[in-house]
A and B are shown apart, each in its own frame.
Chain A
Amino acid sequence: MLARHAEDMFWAGRYLERAEDTARMVRATLLSTVAESPAQAIDRMQNLIRTLRLEVPTPTEDVETMAEQLAPSPPMLRSESGLGIDVQVAATRLVASPALAGSVAFCIGRTRENFRSLRDQIPSELWEQINEFHLRLRQDDFPAAMEHDPFQTLDFIRVSCQSLTGVISSSMAQGEGYRFLVLGQMLERALMTCRLVSVRYPELDGSSYDEMALTLRSVSALEAYQRASQSSPLGSDVARFLMVDGSFPRSVLYCLRSSENHVEALAANGRPPPLRRLAQLRSELEYADFDTMVGDLPRHLSALESGVRDVAILVGNHFFRNAESFDLHSQAIMPGVSS
């Protein structure tokens, strides 16, 4: 297939995944703040924003200084009072501000734009679905809906993303384009899970059930985890589950295995650099002694995260190297991806 189309597929997959993951994390965070003090809630929200690798404004009394600090990026997460962040406002913006790079509305807009240049490659059903979803997110009353009924709105987003994924797996020919799309999804998902664990792990040390439930819920893993492990969870057990469980589709290991399969099929013959790097990352994770690893988890996670980013770059160089448009998808567009 055309290198440019392959690249657009890959990025459509990444943006779509990021939108869904963001919505899940926002939902879990809001859910856990329901019964908490405002200060705790703000803490949690900042935690989430860090997980998403977005700018966290430093709380300050001086509104002007803060506006200056935020000048290069849109001052989207700043509360109106100027005092740190307002949980509700931040959540609404993370979901409904198309101008905030990384918000759900932004990511779905990008997904649609990529699909738009793939109109001849994707089933009409998929195009209609993304188009309708995008238009709903851009309606004037959408931010208000998010503010008034965040849980219902977030459920709507999750269901819309899932039905897109459903259309992709049920009506798209599973050729090259499909593989690049799923590869994008899997790499993005691996990154998001890594980040979640690295941000949440310190909180898990105290091992209160609520903290663990929030972490697991952020990737919709609570039920799967409870089924897999009936013992009362320890922080390291949660981290182990999210990183190396072989059957949970949001664990880092699962995402790496799936990515490896797709790259292997795409490579047709030989072992191109992205495949070698992926296999290396995957086997390091798979055969590592997790109990040793957990002793130095932050370092391992950051190595893993940068490894996944390497893979994305190698995929670009190897498969899209003929596309002059590579620099159009400036890495700065995707928050947290800048190297």
Chain B
Amino acid sequence: MSGPPPGFFDEAVDEHGQTRDHYRPVQEWFDRLTLEQVKALEEQRNESFRRQGITFTVYGGDEGTERTWPMDLFPRIIDAEEWSMLERGLIQRVTALNRFLDDIYAGEQAILHDGIVPRRLITSCTGFEREAMNVAVPLGARCLVAGIDLVRDADGAYRVLEDNLRNPSGISYVIENRAAMTKLLPAAFSDLAVRSVDHYGRSLLRALRSIAPPACGDDPTVVVLTPGIFNSAYFEHAFLARSMGAELVEGRDLVVDDHMVAMRTTRGLERVDVIYRRIDDAFLDPVVFNPSSTLGVPGLMAAARAGTVSVANSVGNGVGDDKAVYAYVPDMIRYYLGEETIIPNADTYLLWEEDQRAEVLKRLDQLVVKPVAESGGYGIVIGPRATDAELAEAREKILADPRNWIAQEVVNLSRLPAWSGDGFAPRHIDLRPFVLSGEQVEVIPGGLTRVALREGSLIVNSSQGGGSKDTWVLGNSDQLDQAAAS
């Protein structure tokens, strides 16, 4: 076996071509499988996902098509020590982001007064919602569920690529991947103390109940608000409602009367205290946002402002997702927590700063250019792979609206074997851990590992040909006991 080509970090193999310790049992297990056995497992997995209807919707073409969820059999493994660093880093980051959002929307805006983050950066954000000003959120748990996208650079160092603080999706697939893997490859887990993920529903419910309006007593009613069965993440919305035992409501099921939110039931109206909404801000309340939205609930923001209902994730979190604001997260961590950042950002250039812009425009073919407010991999230009025409177009767009773009050094996503149809071959991966905020900040062990199934591709989004992998965080027996007891 030879080492990986330079420029990429290989998760499973070290620079001498030796399998890393924490991958050894799994690698050996996979080495013993014949081609036929792998194909049979692949078949079994597809059949089981198809039967269970574990699907996601791809838009475009005539209509949304339901596809079964692409999960690669080879798991991603993170050892206990590495995870403990990631866990601390994620808690630190989300704690600072909660403080920041609460400061901006319901606090003194101290970070702006002190000039740490430029005021005009915030006020020019498309995600900055004036409607959310002075709407208090209990515990300041504004990022109730955060999905932080991590990648590993050529040296194997983890870096944060984006913060998803609005409606991060994917947790249901984390749990379904694990359920599928335990059924398909029970032997591969052998003696590895893989930490469990299926307590997520309980943890989420606990976090949601912790932000209920104090006046509603100790048994708040929590609901999940979905746009409906045609949404690409409907499967997940139903999954979460089921695992929490909460009602899955649509906008048309809710009414606001005298600043109180209620759902229409077979026995009349029933009060709702906490809404875990999976609808974007713009569609949430036609009274104050997009007036043509039929998905939302008229009057919901007024009720939230009156404090009779709590909405998670909080309205206006988009300001923290803005990629230009993202560049300031290390400053926020220093400002609010007095700590140095544990997981650094990818090197980022702000194009509205004149000197940085000039530097970037010179090296456009070596950098990645991203629109600040998009997610899902849309609108990204990868310099080394772009045509001259694409680069020229990017340059024009940057010059026309520099606030709307950032540039980053190319991060050569780390690699891990994935099934390519006739064998396992290295493919690029990233990681989206899920972080819950309530009484405290909690990280679900592992997260969603996404994999670019096309050879050489760096785009891992499932809407663009990406797949996923089960992510195993190895623990010691103490942690296993704790997880079982919680």
Contact = CB atoms under 8 A, between A and B. Distances in A.
Interface in B237-272: 238-239, 241-242, 246-250, 252-253, 263-269
Contacts of B269: 322
A2 B242 contact: no
Give chain B's interface residue range (CB within 8 Å of chain A). 20 to 34
A124 B50 CA distance: 13
Given A128-B53, A135-B50, A325 B252 contact: yes
B265 A120 contact: no
Given A2-B253, A128-B53, A131-B53, A120 B266 contact: no
B52 interface: yes
Contact of A127 (B52, B246, B265): B52
A158 interface: no
B52 A1 contact: no
Contacts, number: 69
Interface string A66-84: 0000000000000000000
A259 B247 CA distance: 26
A135 B49 CA distance: 13
A117 B229 contact: yes
A266 B52 contact: no
Contacts of B52: 124, 127-128, 131
A2 B250 CA distance: 10
Given A2-B249, A4-B252, A119-B238, A266 B266 contact: yes
Interface string B336-353: 000000000000000000
Interface in B81-136: none
Contacts of A116: 53, 229
A2 B238 contact: no
Nearest to B251: A324
Contacts of B239: 119-120
A6 B247 CA distance: 12
B51 interface: yes
Contact of A3 (B224, B228, B265): B265
Interface string A29-64: 000000000000000000000000000000000000
Contacts of B51: 128, 131-132, 135
Contacts of A323: 252-253, 264
Which of A3, A6, A128 has the most C-beta atoms of chain B within 10 angstroms of its own C-beta?
A3
Contacts of A180: 266
B247 A2 contact: yes
A106 B366 CA distance: 55
A119 B248 contact: yes
Q: Assign chain A's interface to a size class.
A: 20 to 34
Contact of A176 (B50, B253, B266): B266
Nearest to A318: B266
B53 A2 contact: no
A332 interface: no
A225 interface: no
Contact of A322 (B53, B228, B238, B264): B264
Contacts of B253: 2-4, 323
Nearest to B244: A120
A320 interface: yes
B265 A1 contact: yes
A327 to B, nearest CB: 12
A319 interface: yes
A6 B250 CA distance: 14
Interface in B183-242: 224, 228-229, 234-235, 238-239, 241-242
Interface string B412-456: 000000000000000000000000000000000000000000000
B252 A120 contact: no
A180 B266 CA distance: 10
Nearest to B263: A2
B264 A4 contact: yes
Nearest to A321: B264
A2 B224 CA distance: 12
B252 A324 contact: yes
Contacts of B53: 116, 127-128, 131
Interface string A126-139: 01100110010000
15 contacts: A1-B247, A2-B247, A2-B263, A3-B266, A4-B252, A5-B247, A113-B229, A117-B229, A119-B239, A120-B224, A120-B246, A176-B266, A180-B266, A322-B265, A322-B266
Interface of A: 1-6, 113, 116-117, 119-121, 124, 127-128, 131-132, 135, 176, 180, 266, 268, 319-320, 322-325
Given A2-B247, A2-B265, A131-B51, 9 more contacts: A2-B266, A119-B239, A120-B241, A120-B248, A135-B51, A268-B267, A319-B266, A320-B266, A322-B265
